[in-house]
Amino acid sequence: MKPTHLAIVLAAGGSTRLGRPKQLLTRAGETLVHRAARLASETSPERLLVVVGAERDGIERSLHNIPCEFIDNPQWREGLGTSLHAAGQAIVARLEAPVLILGCDQPALELRHLQALLVGAQTAPSRCAATVHGERFGVPAVVPFDWFAHPDELTGDRGFGARLSLLGPEAICALQAPELGLDIDTVDDLREAASRQWLDPLPG
């Protein structure tokens, strides 16, 4: 498949509520950040960017065999929007490429979901595809590159979720994936994911 898109893995967070780096939790012995980057790479992106902040050294070691570019976000403590801002600055030269965005804390994510988003975005009037989370849209998602045209608007925890949710249902490719509603923010989330075999049990 000819590469036609860019991919961004958001992996800069500090996992403060969980108390341990969620990026380095494992599923079948593979860290979640490696799994996310591997799945993203399997969609054949032209460029794969991994935004890092907290736990940078451990994440970079985990991804030693993944062909990717590390984008440093020194403002990672200020929220998701700062990671999108950092990524946007790094890809400013490609105004025509769709952008696949994913995190690394959805252990049930599979390649087929990312592929379906990319296909759906091609025919959606807004050129967007997103995952349904209750009454809102979120990641993984595909957005047009021009959404990054004003990176200074991406601050704090402001990502693209609100903008996606403002699109009418006829304008966006919205994919249902209830299993992706479980992201790892708390110890209870971790236990639930482990009970579904989406994470390896923690020692002890």
Check if the beta carbon of residue 30 is closer than 8 Å to that of residue 99.
no
Residue 159 has pLDDT above 90, yes or no: no
Confidence of residue 91 (pLDDT cuts 50, 70, 90): confident
Check if the beta carbon of residue 121 is closer than 8 Å to that of residue 104.
no
CA dist 181 and 106 (Å) reads 8
Residues contacting residue 70 through CB under 8 Å, at least 6 positions apart: 49, 50, 52, 56, 60
Rounded to two decimals, the pTM is 0.92
**CATH second-level architecture of 6-195?**
Alpha-Beta Complex (3.90)
CA dist 72 and 86 (Å) reads 7
Residue 10 has pLDDT above 60, yes or no: yes
Domain limits, the chain = 6-195
Rg (CA), the chain: 16
**For residue range 117-139, what is the model confidence (pLDDT) as tens digits?**
999 999 999 999 999 988 889 89
What pLDDT is attached to residue 109? 97
What pLDDT is attached to residue 157? 57
